[in-house]
Structures are given as C-alpha cells and as structure tokens.
C-alpha cells in the first residue's frame, strides 16, 4: 500500500483481519518478523518520523483527574513540542474538536464521545504530516461524526495524509479518496471507490428470456442475474437505451430500469465471500 500526502485512505477489514497489527507496525509499536515498510520516507519505527505522526487509538483512556487543557499540555510535552508553542497548540486543538468551552473541566466528567474528541485533539497537536485514526467516530452522535468529517477534509486540504481505520463504511465512503480491504493479513482489493464499486450500475426487471439469453448481455457490463432482475455493473449511462433495445430484440419484456449505486458495504461483503 502507498498513501500520498493530502489523501484520506480507508483501511478496512473484518475483525481479526490484521488491521490493528498493521497500524502497530506502521507506528513502531510492534516489530515485524519479516518484510519492510516506510513511513514518511523513513523505516518503520524511526523516531524522527514518529514525531511527525498523530494517532488516535481505538481504545483510549485519559487521566480523569486532569482537565482537557492539562491532558493536551501533557501530550505536547510527550511530542517534544517547544514549550513556547504549547498554549497556542492546545487552544487550537480545543477549538478544532469543539471542546474550548470545557477546557478547564475534568476529563472524568466527559462522556465517551467528548473523550473521543479530546483524543482527536491530541492527535492533531504539532500539525502532523500523517494522522492515524482508529475508529474515530465510534462513540459520536451524528453531529460529532459530521464534525470529524469536516476535520478530515481540512487535514487533506493542508496536505496531511489521513489513515482511517473504521467499521462505519458509510463514513469511509464520505471522506476517503482510496481504500484497501484486508482479510487474513493480505490486501484483497485496493483503489479508488470508483475502482472498487465498478462505476455506474443499472438494475432491470426483465421476463421472457432464457438464462443463456440473459447472460448474453455481458458485453454491456458485469452481469448479476437474480431471477427476474438483472444488475449490470460498469455500464455507462448512455448505453442504457442500447441495452434495453437489445433485451427487447431478444424477446424480453422490460418492466423496470433503475440506476443503482453499489455501496461500499455491498462490495466489502462480496470481496470477503459472505454475500
């Protein structure tokens, strides 16, 4: 896999596929038994590269007796940021994740969603070149998920690469430029959403044709025959009238023609052989 600057990259797969292990390897939290990789142009685990990385883990816990501002100040120190920049960095992070009004409140009074916002703020300290987000919206309400999408888009605009690990596939569709789907430790598909979803698709209800005749329209796209319904993926919209005319010419009766957008969830299940 390769993730360039300014791109949101979705890293997807079922439980146990190896996603968390891969992230730990990229962050230098685990050592590989074989193989090699680079992050920000440096070998895995390189200390200088790690200084330029932000990370929001899926399982996070912050000191309940500290305020949000104090937690972020500790992370500034851990990141080795110049002390003179701490105040500005902390305030900017609080504003980005909409916690400025709770900056002096103890973390123990925060909901899980607010703590997740705090973790995202910690990941953004120091304007990292690369941000790893592991399930960043799992505890958030719709407003919070919208805010995270806005933050990810702003990171992309300033040239930051975002590596997003999430089970919420609809969220991935909204923000990611490319995705990789991993299963049993191997990438089974990778590319833009258009590449993975097969572009345009159309669903038709057709009767009066033999199975062999229904399959003969494969020249128009990838055929999925489901009884009376035929779905063609990869069909350009301007070829739909041509397809309908061909079905009628073969003796078919066309009752319905519906544009269909295959979802990332559909494709995800197909690639994993569960649908």
**Which pLDDT does position 216 carry in this prediction?**
83
Please tell me the distance from the alpha carbon of residue 57 to that of residue 133, in angstroms, as a whole number. 7
Domain 198-271 CATH (choose: 3.30.465.10, 3.20.20.10, 3.40.50.150, 3.30.70.100): 3.30.70.100
Q: Report the distance separating Cα 215 and Cα 120, nearest Å.
A: 50
Q: CB–CB of 232/259 below 8 Å? A: no
Give me the chain's average pLDDT, please: 86
Residue 275 has a pLDDT of 46
- Mean pLDDT of the 229-248 span: 84
Kindly report, residue by residue over 174-204, the tens digit of the pLDDT: 889 999 988 888 888 888 887 777 667 788 8
SS3 at position 204: strand
Banded model confidence at residue 243, pLDDT cuts 50, 70, 90? confident
Strand 186-192 to strand 201-207: parallel, antiparallel, or no bridges (unpaired)? Answer: unpaired
In this structure, are residues 118 and 64 in contact, taking their beta carbons and an 8 Å threshold? no
Predicted pLDDT at 136: 81
Q: Regarding predicted confidence, which is higher, 260 or 214?
A: 214
Residue 259 binned pLDDT confidence (cut-offs 50, 70, 90): confident
Instruction: In the chain, list all ranges with CATH 3.40.50.300.
Output: 8-190
Please give the Cα distance from 112 to 61 (Å, whole number).
10
Outline which parts of the chain fall under CATH 3.30.70.100: 198-271
Determine the pLDDT at residue 7.
92
Segment 18-47 mean pLDDT: 89
pLDDT at 215: 79
Residue 98 has pLDDT above 70, yes or no: yes
Q: Please give the residue that has the higher pLDDT: either 72 or 240.
A: 72
pLDDT at residue 233 in the model: 75
Q: Flag whether pLDDT at 109 surpasses 90.
A: yes
Between 3.40.50.300, 2.60.40.10, 3.40.50.1970, 3.40.50.2300, what CATH number should domain 8-190 receive?
Answer: 3.40.50.300
Which has more pLDDT, 105 or 190?
105
Q: How many CB atoms lie within 10 A of CB 48?
A: 8
Which tens digit of pLDDT belongs to each residue from 111-168? 888 888 899 999 999 999 999 998 888 777 888 888 888 888 888 888 899 999 888 7
Question: Which pair of structure tokens corresponds to residue 241?
Answer: 């009238």
pTM of the model: 0.75
Place of tokens 């997740």: 116
């Amino acid at each position: 896999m390769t993730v360039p600057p300014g791109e949101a990259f979705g890293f997807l797969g079922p439980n146990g596929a190896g996603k968390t292990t891969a992230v730990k390897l990229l962050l230098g939290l685990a050592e590989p038994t074989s193989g090699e990789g680079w992050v920000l142009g440096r070998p895995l685990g390189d200390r200088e590269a790690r200084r330029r990385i932000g990370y929001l883990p899926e399982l996070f816990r912050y000191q309940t007796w500290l305020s949000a501002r104090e937690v972020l100040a500790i992370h500034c120190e851990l990141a080795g940021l110049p002390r003179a920049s701490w105040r500005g960095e902390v305030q900017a992070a609080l504003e980005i994740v909409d916690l400025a009004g709770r900056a002096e409140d103890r973390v123990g009074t925060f909901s899980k969603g607010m703590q997740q916002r705090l973790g995202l703020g910690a990941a953004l300290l120091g304007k990292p070149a690369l941000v790893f987000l592991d399930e960043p919206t799992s505890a958030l309400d719709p407003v919070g998920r919208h805010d995270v999408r806005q933050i990810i888009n702003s990171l992309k605009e300033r040239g930051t690469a975002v590596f997003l690990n999430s089970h919420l596939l609809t969220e991935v569709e909204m923000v990611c430029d490319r995705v990789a789907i991993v299963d049993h430790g191997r990438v089974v598909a990778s590319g833009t959403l258009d590449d993975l979803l097969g572009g345009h698709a159309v669903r038709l209800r057709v009767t009066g044709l033999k199975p062999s005749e229904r399959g003969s329209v494969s020249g128009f796209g990838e055929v999925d025959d489901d009884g009376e319904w035929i779905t063609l993926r990869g069909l350009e919209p301007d070829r739909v009238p041509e397809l309908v005319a061909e079905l009628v010419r073969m003796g078919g009766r066309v009752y319905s023609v519906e544009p269909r957008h295959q979802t990332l969830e559909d494709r995800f299940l197909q690639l994993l052989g569960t649908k």
